[in-house]
Chain A
Amino acid sequence: MAAKLRETAAIGLLWGAGIATLVILIVILAYILVNGLPLISWHFLTTNPGVRGQQGTGIYSTIVATVAVTGLALLVAAPLSVGGAIYLNEYTKENLPRKVFRQAAEVLAGIPSIIIGLFGFLFFVIYLQPYTGGWSILSGGLTLAFMVLPISLRISEEALKAVPGELREGSLGLGATKWQSITTVVMPTALPGIITGLILGAGRAIGETAAILLTVGGALGLIHGLRDPACPMTLYIYNILTEYNDTTTAYGTAAVLIIAILAITFITDYLMNRYTKKLKGL
């Protein structure tokens, strides 16, 4: 009888933990969205912030800045991570060098964003200043590439690993070279997984603040080039909270970010489900 009671209590607690996790997420999202959504209007999205963050202005230049640094980070990290994943999965055996590569990606993913920011400040903002323009979109985007790389590498590698070996053997057996098999058979099969990795990497870049804080400058004007300083949405939230105590605009900006993150979550979840189904059908 006692065992049965303990059983019920324990299972109940586990249910509680699962539900608590859901509730925490819902509370945080709902709080931001309920306060922020009413602020979002066409005007809010397409007007630049005021010089001193006055109310009644928008966040247009910060959205442009977020898109620019994220795009730049992806542009650099996507070929490196997908290429690296192909090399690790298709050209190496399960041995020491492969372990070293994987370990390196893991260490890179674990480096705190503020340390990446310190590096970006020293390398891109100071050392490469003649090329990057100092604090700029270019410095920020390139710094973010260091954070997108390991995420996208890991997920791309998993996607490639999930491609059944028979597909490769079939292609090689028909006389295709290794690279031909990769481009015509392996990659198309793994594509949803690879895209998922890139989208999650983009999500990391959109949400990043600490690394941006030290590299992008924080200027509120609309950028005209990659060497201009800028202020992406995350940094804008931090700045208006700490400098102007303007919670209203911060709610609106945070709501836009949350919508972007939710979209990313749903898209990647959908893609991954389709991918696993597709592989099961093979």
Chain B
Amino acid sequence: MVITSNGVRTLRRTRTRVVGERLIQGILLLCAISSIFAIFLIIVFVFSQGVPFLAEAGLSFLTGSVWLPTDSFAAGTWGILPIILGSLIVTLGAVAIGAPLGIACAVFLAEIAPPAVRRALIPSVSALAGVPSVVYGFFALLVIVPWIRGQFGGFGTSVLACWIILSVMILPTIISISTDSVRAVPREYKEGSLAMGATRWQTIRSVLIPAASSGIMASIILGMGRAIGETMAVLLVAGNAIAIPTSIFAPVSTLTATIALEMSYATGAHQQALFAMGVVLFVFILILTGLANLVSRRRVTF
């Protein structure tokens, strides 16, 4: 085969082309890796401050109920049990209120709503997701807190105030994921049920919701993650007293709010303790993310 000069040029052009394509692919791969790298960085830096403290304080950090931080480790008392319990109480209550409403709204969106209503409701749910958390907190501080103070006495900044505002804040998460999973149920299931003479509600209750249950469960768990990780709204309405709340009208403090509040002045061991709280919160979030993955992988078959 005779290779003409023209052919060589084509060959060369093809080679630079191949090299260029490879280079681009490499750059794109780096972009894709950036998320993994970001998580790696976050873990390394937060854990580098938190884990040594956890190791030094031991299990009593999680089980102790007295929190008297100072900048030297020996002089402080480091028990965050009330704060962990505060986070859990606030989260579970918010989910207990928000999940039924969110799931009902999702079923409504996927099955009942006429197209015009759906066209109005979908952007409303994204708007609800877009409202900054500090604005939710501001609203709760000026409307919900005074209402609780007027109705039930006390300061108003309380467990109940957190429940109400957080239940609203987790709605978009629950609604969007649940709606997707209800819509993903094969048409035949629904049509089969309707053809058997079941009413719309019977079909929803005994066919659609069971078939979509894994996605609905995942949405609740991710809603929990949103609630436990929420900072600004809780910070404004929780009251931030470090004690296990005795009633729903008592103030409460959470991991997130304590970190945000005390980081502004903490130094030395106190600051490390706040990073250790960050590690505890991170572990909670990882457990919830893992659980959400586990349940959404489960498929319901008939």
Contacts and interface: CB of A to CB of B under 8 A. Distances in A.
A268 interface: yes
Contacts of B35: 84, 101, 104-105, 108, 149-150, 153
How many of chain A's residues touch chain B, expressed as a range? 35 or more
B243 to A, nearest CB: 21
Nearest to A18: B108
Contact of B274 (A118, A250, A268): A118
B132 A24 contact: no
Nearest to A26: B124
A106 interface: yes
Contacts of B77: none
A222 interface: no
Interface residues of B, number: 87
Q: Which of B25, B35, B39, B126 has the most CB of A within 10 A?
A: B35
B232 A209 contact: yes
A28 B49 contact: no
B96 interface: no
B64 interface: no
A114 B231 contact: yes
A254 to B, nearest CB: 5
Interface of A is mostly: helix
Nearest to B20: A179
A241 B260 contact: no
Contacts of A115: 42, 46, 229, 278, 281-282, 285
Contact of A257 (B108, B132, B275): B132
A265 interface: yes
A262 interface: yes
A80 B104 CA distance: 37
Given A22-B124, A200-B130, 16 more contacts: A17-B101, A17-B107, A17-B108, A83-B28, A84-B35, A101-B33, A104-B39, A111-B42, A149-B38, A178-B21, A209-B133, A209-B134, A234-B132, A234-B134, A238-B232, A254-B138
Interface of A: 3-4, 6-7, 10-11, 13-18, 20-22, 24-25, 28-29, 31-32, 79-84, 86-88, 91, 100-101, 103-108, 110-119, 121-123, 127, 146, 149-150, 153, 177-179, 200, 203, 206-210, 213-214, 234-235, 237-238, 241-242, 247, 250, 254, 257-258, 261-262, 264-266, 268-269
18 contacts: A18-B104, A18-B109, A28-B168, A31-B143, A79-B31, A83-B28, A91-B28, A104-B36, A111-B42, A113-B231, A114-B256, A118-B278, A121-B263, A123-B45, A146-B42, A177-B17, A257-B132, A261-B130
